[in-house]
Amino acid sequence: MKFKVSLLIVLACISFCKEKPIANEKYEDPFFVSDEKECFLEPELNSKCISKREELSCHKILMDLLDSKLENIMFNKLWIGEDQQTTFYNIDSNGMFEIFEGGPDKEPNQRIQIGKGKLFLQKKQWFYEQTCKDNLCSSFKIPIVYLHCTITKSMNESEIRLKLDFGNREFIPRDEIENDKNYKLITFIQEKPVPNQIFNGFTSTKVPPIPSN
């Protein structure tokens, strides 16, 4: 009798183990390069064109992002808005920044400050906050939850610049943004050009929390 009971228990355990799904989460690399692997700009004679994965601009950004090192990505740099001529974000080494409004016909010293802000950590989560003067821009504070990276051309298409999109949820097409009033998407384009390279980037990737010491 004891043997039969033991046998039934063993069979029940085997059946349970077979039916229980096994977690098999496969990591999907968000990084990508163009299939053609051609230089983003037409290379001049004997000019260098970066093609090694670890040297590509967005791959470097991704490595810092996976360690939640947004200070390495954004601090101490001058960024411009998506149209590359109207809005400028001058971020210092502490994550504090000033927002300036300019234009294609204005020199840097002719730009007008319209706001200020900061990139900061709160409870191991990165946040973006900006406040504006006289309603010249929108004032808001959001957690930086996702970040998307690619490279783009300058307005005269003679240089390559790094482009970041980040917001408080996963990147969605712009035609869907109007239907989500709580969604905030910010575009930064680094004013300083990056070296000529093959087209690369990474899809909307979650910003991990700061690891505990």
pLDDT of residue 175: 66
Looking at the chain, how many residues does it have?
213
Q: Which residue is associated with the tokens 């090192």?
A: 69
| pTM (two decimals) | 0.82
- So what's the pLDDT on residue 114? 96
Closest CA to 193 of 46, 6, 50, 45: 50
pLDDT computed for residue 28 by the predictor: 82
Would you say the C-alpha torsion 98, 90, 68, 201 has a positive or negative sign?
A: positive
Whole-angstrom distance, CA of residue 180 vs CA of residue 16: 44
Q: pLDDT tens, position by position, for the chain (213 residues)?
A: 544 444 344 344 444 444 444 344 456 899 999 988 899 998 775 578 999 999 999 999 999 999 999 999 999 999 999 999 999 999 999 999 999 998 877 888 899 999 999 999 999 999 999 999 988 899 999 999 999 999 999 999 999 999 999 999 876 666 666 666 788 999 999 999 999 999 999 999 999 998 766
8 A C-beta contact, residue 193 and residue 175: no
Residue 134 pLDDT: 87
Structure tokens at 73: 């990505």
**CA distances from residue 123 to 82, 143, 209, 210, 211 in whole angstroms, order as listed:** 30, 11, 9, 9, 11
Report the sign of the C-alpha dihedral through residues 153, 158, 162, 167, in that order: negative
Output the pLDDT for position 90.
Answer: 97
pLDDT at 130: 97
pLDDT value at residue 6: 47
pLDDT of residue 171: 66
| Beta strand spans in the chain (E) | 31-33, 77-80, 87-91, 96-101, 112-122, 125-132, 140-143, 146-153, 160-167, 185-190, 200-206
